[in-house]
Chain A
Amino acid sequence: MSEKEPTDWLDALHASLTQDGVVLERIDAPGLAPARLVVLPAGDWGKLAEVAARLGARWVAGFGADAGQDRLDVHACFEKGGSYVLARTTVMRAHPILPSHTPYYAGADRPERHTQDLIGVAFLDHPDARRWVRHKAWLDSVYPLRREVPVGGQPPAETPPDNDYRFFFAHGAGVYEIPVGPVHAGIIEPGHFRFQAVGETVLNLEERLGYVHKGIEKIAAGRDPAGLARLAGRVSGDSTVAHAWAACQAMERAAGLEAPERALYLRALMCERERVANHLGDIGAILNDVAFTFGFYQFSRLREEWQRLSAQAFGHRFMMDRVVPGGVATDLDGKLVEPMRAQAQAMRKQLDKLMAIINDSPSVEDRLVTTGVLKPEQAAALGCQGYVGRASSVDFDVRRDAPYAPYDRFELDVPVYHYGDVAARVRVRAEECRAAFGLIGALLAQLPSGPVSAEWRAPVEGAEGLGVVEGFRGEILTYVRFGADGRVARFFPRDPSWTTWPALELLIHDNIVPDFPVCNKSVNGSYSGHDL
């Protein structure tokens, strides 16, 4: 299957903007493939979003950067029909004001506030003036990603709790407020959920995230490529392979380097194994949240068996630090090819049997079907993709629609469901596992021989690259720019959770509070991947 020809939506975008007197400059930037780079004046930034929305493009990600010499760069990435466009504009520090994309794309809300908090660009007409990732660890006059702010910053000895964030509040007889977190009752990442409820029914849910903000973007600067891959692999530990792959893809594209064929196949093998491990665990956890403990224990058993073979084959249960710049850190022993193929086949049978039991159980059906419905138009409005999007009619998968090696050599079944309830998000995961088992078999059967890594070649100063990978949650988009001495100057990993966290706030409406855990688990947004 050859690389898809880019559709001409960029031409339509260009034409429409030109008609409105906006100068959209196309810049040749091969490192930023699969995206095409366009640059436009700051004053027209809002118009860009207006036209892109009218053309039906998806808003993928947004981020900023200190561009040096009193300039701040702001980026926004769009996608339509598998074709990405990365737009860039520049504002001066003395006047760091840009029109917001949020009036046209609800999914731009939090990314813009993230950029505001860390880089100090103010987005006009943004409907929400509140800080987002900034709690109380730094002042509102400090922008940690600006180059003059040291990595250590000037934090207080004890950072006070974030007590004065103003939450949306409901009034009326019988309405009460439930604050949950940041520390949660289970073994789970921290975040705050503010419910407004009447009886058991949720009127409104508002999230407050940023509790696990670790300054990833700041500490990326100055790292060498190996160090960046290690950091990327810890943006969200459950997606360590996919995030490291996206970062290495971006770095390799910036360097004009390609990993060898065998390495690409091994990366895909690891990424598919990661997908399956997470889906097995998540299906089990969803069942646990509706008290179907039989299912929980069976699925956690399968996940354990799956992780053990990953450890045996690649040296780590999560395959962390196995994807490295230029290839992979460890080869696959030929003796393990057959056990891996056999396990995928056996696991498929086990999955089918368990799904048959689940689908046939009236008490499980009662809890999962019609629970937590995310309507297709809501998913589209937020730019949801991954299994959350695919359970609500968003028919997109990077591996099929913007394929990267080695996926461009394989056919891929992409499951899409339309009802958008928890049951649909379970079914999508089960289908993705089945597709993964098939892919694993095909990858193993066609595994090329050869080296597993290419010698690194330091990119020139200013070289940029983009990595786009389908992790288990969905599309990861990673931007890297190099500085001097082959070290990283800017790293921005856009975890797919940015698009799905807002979806949780919508799909919980009219559900009961006790169904929040299963709804949350059915989305399984990454807190760490979101907070950076």
Chain B
Amino acid sequence: MLRILGKIQRIGIVTEPLPASAEPALGEVGAQLKARIGELFGGSLAIREVDAGSCNGCELEIHALNNPYYGIERFGVHFVASPRHADMLLVTGPVSRHMQAALRRTYDATPDPKLVIAVGECGANGGEFGVSYASCGAVANVIPVDAVIRGCPPTPINLMLGILEAIGRRART
């Protein structure tokens, strides 16, 4: 137990602030984030992640959002286990045809108001896999998409930016 406490004390807090100087738009959006979430979702954003066919690269970077460096929960964003608890679907991969029905049902099970973000090159446009006998291609080919985060895979920073952008976009309508 002492070793655990000692390790925690020695390592300390490693969470980084979202880079401000390098990306001015970032700081601005970051400052607005909590306000947007407050407007729409009462102080928090619940995300349900759905892998609709990815290679797992995007999943690993989404996981990283919860590591001590990025700590997305400090922005009021957390991941939930059921679409019924979700405000947002974060969908990765080209949609494989064998996941088409499951994705559709997950979308239908998510209560309104809801947002959908398609993640990665595959989510945006089918990526290397495109449309085929086995793949529907972009997530937008299957369910309505509010925002797209490009990248192969998108970095955790880009994921956070993208999620924030989606909130901003929705608030404008």
Q: Enumerate chain A interface residues (CB-CB to B < 8 A).
A: 135-138, 144, 149-155, 158-162, 182-183, 185-190, 210-216, 218-219, 230-231, 234-238, 240, 281, 294, 297-298, 300-301, 303-304, 307, 317-318, 320, 353-354, 356-357, 360-361, 526-528, 531
Contacts and interface: CB of A to CB of B under 8 A. Distances in A.
Interface of B: 3-4, 7-8, 11, 14, 49-64, 66-69, 79, 81-83, 93-94, 96-106, 127-135, 152-153, 155
Given A211-B96, A317-B155, A219 B106 contact: no
Contact of B55 (A135, A149, A160, A234): A234
A294 B1 CA distance: 11
A303 B67 contact: yes
Nearest to B66: A300
B14 A231 contact: no
A214 B54 CA distance: 9
Given A189-B51, A189-B54, A357-B4, A219 B82 contact: no
Given A158-B104, A159-B97, A234-B57, A190 B51 contact: yes
B133 A212 contact: no
Given A212-B93, A237-B56, A527-B56, A301 B68 contact: yes
A151 B132 contact: yes
29 contacts: A135-B97, A137-B97, A151-B132, A151-B133, A155-B133, A161-B102, A188-B51, A188-B59, A189-B59, A190-B50, A190-B99, A190-B102, A211-B53, A212-B96, A214-B94, A214-B129, A215-B133, A235-B55, A236-B56, A237-B56, A237-B153, A298-B7, A298-B11, A300-B63, A301-B11, A320-B57, A353-B7, A356-B3, A528-B53
A360 B3 contact: yes
Contacts of B57: 234, 237-238, 240, 318, 320
Contacts of A214: 53, 94, 96, 129, 132, 134-135
A61 B152 CA distance: 29
B64 A237 contact: no
A111 B17 CA distance: 48
Contact of B127 (A158, A160, A234): A234
Given A161-B102, A188-B51, A137 B68 contact: no
A470 to B, nearest CB: 19
Contacts of A297: 67-68
Contacts of A136: 97-98
Q: Top 4 A-B pairs ranked by shortest CB distance?
A: A153-B133, A237-B57, A215-B134, A137-B97
A238 B98 contact: no
Nearest to A284: B67
A238 B58 CA distance: 10
A227 to B, nearest CB: 8
